[in-house]
Structures are given as C-alpha cells and as structure tokens.
Structure 1
C-alpha cells in the first residue's frame, strides 16, 4: 500500500508541489486540503496600482480538495482534523502560511474580498514601513485620494541612502509619511491596511509544532525538528525568508518526496518591490538597484508565475 501523503494549504510552495502531482501519485496516495484559488502575494500590489487586472492563482483542475481547511492537527497520532472529518497521514506538507498581526485589514493572506475593499476605498492608512508597506503605499497612491503610511522607520534593513531616496519618492508621490508607531486610537484616514509584518498562527502551538509566538523550526531538509514526517514550506518555517523562499521550499520538498535527498540550500533572497510608475526597487541582501530594469524583471517574473498557475 502506498504511503498517505496529505498536502495542506495553497501557499506558493504548495503550488510547486502540486505541479508534480502526477509523479507523486505514482509513489503516494495523495490528498489535498485547502482552497481552490489564492492571491499571488508578489503581484497583488500591481492589481491595486492598475498594472494588472488579476493576481489569482488556481488549484489544478484535476486535483479535488477533500476538505477546505485544517481545523487541528495531532502529530503524535498523525491525523489532520478538517471541517469534514479526520484525515490520517504518513507524510504531511503544510503550506498554510503565517498571518497578519490584526492591526487592520489583513494583507496576509490577501483575498479577493480584501482587494475589493481596497479598490472601493478612496483613502487608506497603511501600517508598517517594511517592503510590504512601502510597496502598498506606492501602489495605492496611484489611484487613491489620500494615502498615509505609519512607520517608525522605512526599509530599516537597507542602507541609509536607499531609505532617504525611498522616503523622498513616497512624499513626492503624495503619500503622507508619519514616522512614528501607529496607535489604534489615532484618527486614521480611510481603510487601515496591516503591513506591519506576519506572526505565527495560533494552531501551530496548539498542535505542538512551535512554542507560543514562534515560527516553526525545521531541519535542513525542511522537515519539522521533532516530527520528521511533517514538511514545512513558506513563511511558516523560521529558516525561510519571504515569497522567493516559499516557492523554492516547495520545489525542494517536491524533489525530496520524489527521491532527491539533498538538503535545502539557504541563500540570500532576491526581492523586487513596486515603486514609481515604471520603476521598482531590487534588493539582494544590502545590494540595491532602483530603476526601470528591476521593474521589467519583476513584471517578467510575475507574469510567468501567473501564467503557469492562473488556469
């Protein structure tokens, strides 16, 4: 009898695993738990900016979910509980993602309903000066009457000269930049968007996958540190960093399940964020490049990914 492989969540890494569904079925009894579509994190700011009409990725048509969501997990008994009942597993891949802090409208995960709310809002207040918050501010100011960005600092992990340049571009674009921590009781303008970062989901602790408030520890193969039959992809894992690693982690786990036992190769992640019309900021560690070529590279990467998983 084939080992039971259960895939949970439609994260960016899971799409890479499901792309090899036919190969996996030869060695495993494969079941999928999760939704049938998701919003591609790397591209939804372009939808807000009016550069793309859609950033939706879809589950393969030949894969049918046995349930829509994970309710709880017992790693000792190796059972996933869903809204339709319990599902036993021999091997489990989790790609449910981390979540926004809950300051305002969650941007992680972004949904069609969330995009509709942003589209219908004439003014927005964005909380967070990291890459997600800065990109959202640049995207929103193209179509909104008023955009406010609350941030103790802007792109604090990048060189000071880059921070100064991006702040200047934000203000010149029309963004109201408030360089202090956002407080819930302040009078905000419009819809509040939570770009303050992601936090662990509560059920990880309840399932004994991680301590309270912590991300999940894995070995170098992306297996859980204690439960080697559980693989962790995307931003659930403490050793992974952002969307690029989410995609890479899925490719790694798929290859491992199919017999390639090489460890996951950690490396500095490339990140490109939308800025001024026709421009983008590329970062690779402390190395940065702002201009039109990074924007061209971003559009090429995103269009290929969407084309691959859109239908």
Structure 2
C-alpha cells in the first residue's frame, strides 16, 4: 500500500502540535513532526523542577517514544529558521529543507522583557528544561554563598529571592521557593537560618493573577502572605541588574531574580512575513 501523497508538516511538539498529530490519526495524510528539541515538555510543572521538587525526567518525554506507534509520523530534530512560501518548504538551520502540502506552526512562546532584553542575564525566565535547571542552580547557590558570607548586608541580599510577575508562573514559583527555604532546607546549614530568606513577588498591576476572578486573586495573595511571601503590587520594575531591582522608588538588593512577567510569540510570524 503506497503512502498518502498529502504531506502535513507540524513545527513544534508541544501541546498543540502533539494534539493535532493525535487528531489526524487515520487521516489520509503523512505527517512530519519537527522540533528543535528531542523531548516534549510538560511546561506547567517546570516551576517544580526549578525549585527541586521534581527531576527533569518527570516533566519531559522523548518525542519519538510518544509517537512510536504512529507509522504515519516521521519525527525530525531540527531548528526552523524560515518558510519558503512560494516553494512550500520549511527551511532548517543546517541548510536542509522539508517540503509540505499543509503547514502547521505550533511553536509556542518565549520570554518578553518589554524592551529590556539586557535584563535577561540577571533575571532568567522559565520556558525550558535548561531554564529550570539554571534557576534551580541559582537558588541553591544563593544559600551556599550565604552560608559563607560574613557581611550582614551581602548575606541578606543573597537570602533575598525576587520573582518579577504575578501571573500563574510567578505565584507558583514564589510559593514553592518560600516552602523550600522555610521547610525543605531548614536545619541543613550551620551559619544561616534558611527561614530568614525573603521571597518577594513584584507585580506591576494592582493584583496578582489578573486573568482570574478578583476574589481568587485576593485569596492567592493572602495565601502567599501566610506562607511568608512579600507581595508588592502596583509598581513595575524599572531597573534590574546583578545586584538587585528597582520598582517604583524603591531599590531592593537581591542576588537571585526570576522573570515571570511576560511572554512573546515565537518568530513564526516573521518566517511567514505576517
């Protein structure tokens, strides 16, 4: 039996790409799945990897393994850099290309620093496994460095962890980090009391979880404050560097800053010239 002639190319093996591929099972098409990583990521649980609660293997699964029973699907590891619309080809970073009859772009989102991309080295976002492990390293090293620091002001800066952005990711991170400091790491250090760590959540708007009902936002804020999180509302971050953040008229010394304030679409629209 010959293969179907109609070729569907799906770029991105996230939730959208995999769900579409699942829905096309049994259709008279052949499918090529292209992703720049070899694993599907359950992104909602990344914050638990970043805060030591989960291992990376618990939130990522090989794409080939997920699609192993789909003989109509070919999986390719590659980074897409453009789309040849006239020639109906997907252009890859290594110079190769993949022809298509129907193209599906399911490439997700990336961090947005609202015109301040220079902040990224000091305040990483949380979108990939690499981001999560880098943030986990920063958090744990802050406690290790505080254990050896003798200057009280520098020690407090090391024990101050800031999350910028009060959406779901920021709220989850703040709550989990404060539990890590106050419970998980309690008693493991000799020169510092990890319960003295300060977790600060900064949100430019007048409430966290702005897309939720106001009563749920209020409940979440009170729950975080009961855990020990300091919630700062209504003052956007205007400056950020390796030593801390400025929001409103206040400068807060902090050596660990995590960005959870915004996202932007992938470059897919640029590939299409739209």
Q: What interval of TM-score do these two structures reach, taking the shorter chain for normalisation? A: 0.5 to 0.7
* Aligned partner of 1:106 among 108, 125, 129: 125
Root mean square deviation of aligned Cα: 2.6
CA contact (8 A) 1:45 1:135 kept: yes
The structure with the largest strand share of the pair is: 2
CA contact (8 A) 2:64 2:75 kept: no
Quick one: distance in 1 between partners of 2:199 and 2:240?
A: 18
Quick one: distance in 1 between partners of 2:167 and 2:124?
A: 17
Structure 2 residues not aligned, in runs of 5+? 114-119, 143-159, 182-196, 246-253
Q: Which has the larger radius of gyration?
A: 2
Q: CA deviation at 1:20?
A: 5.9
Q: CA deviation at 1:17?
A: 3.4
When normalised by structure 1's length, the TM-score is 0.58
| Structure 1 pair 60–17 and aligned structure 2 pair: CA distance change class (3 A) | farther
Using the TM superposition, name which of 67-76 and 40-49 deviates more: 40-49
Match of 2:38 in 1: 36
Match of 1:12 in 2: 15
Structure 1 residues not aligned, in runs of 5+? 210-311
Quick one: distance in 1 between partners of 2:257 and 2:169?
A: 14
Q: State the secondary structure of the residue aligned to 2:44.
A: coil
Residues 1:96 and 2:96 are matched in the alignment: no
Q: State the secondary structure of the residue aligned to 1:157.
A: coil
| Structure 1 pair 48–67 and aligned structure 2 pair: CA distance change class (3 A) | closer
When normalised by structure 2's length, the TM-score is 0.65
Match of 2:239 in 1: 184
* Aligned pairs (5 A) from 1:276-287: none
Q: CA deviation at 1:146?
A: 3.5
Q: Deviations over 1:233-262 (max 9, x none)?
A: xxxxxxxxxxxxxxxxxxxxxxxxxxxxxx
Match of 1:56 in 2: 60
CA contact (8 A) 2:82 2:272 kept: yes
| Structure 1 pair 22–167 and aligned structure 2 pair: CA distance change class (3 A) | closer
CA contact (8 A) 1:18 1:60 kept: no
Q: CA deviation at 1:64?
A: 5.2
Quick one: distance in 2 between partners of 1:44 and 1:185?
A: 24
Q: Deviations over 1:30-84 (max 9, x none)?
A: 2221121133122223334555432113303336533411111133432210123
* Aligned partner of 2:229 among 161, 172, 175: 175
Q: CA deviation at 1:22?
A: 5.8
* Aligned partner of 1:150 among 182, 202, 208: 202
Q: Deviations over 1:211-242 (max 9, x none)?
A: xxxxxxxxxxxxxxxxxxxxxxxxxxxxxxxx
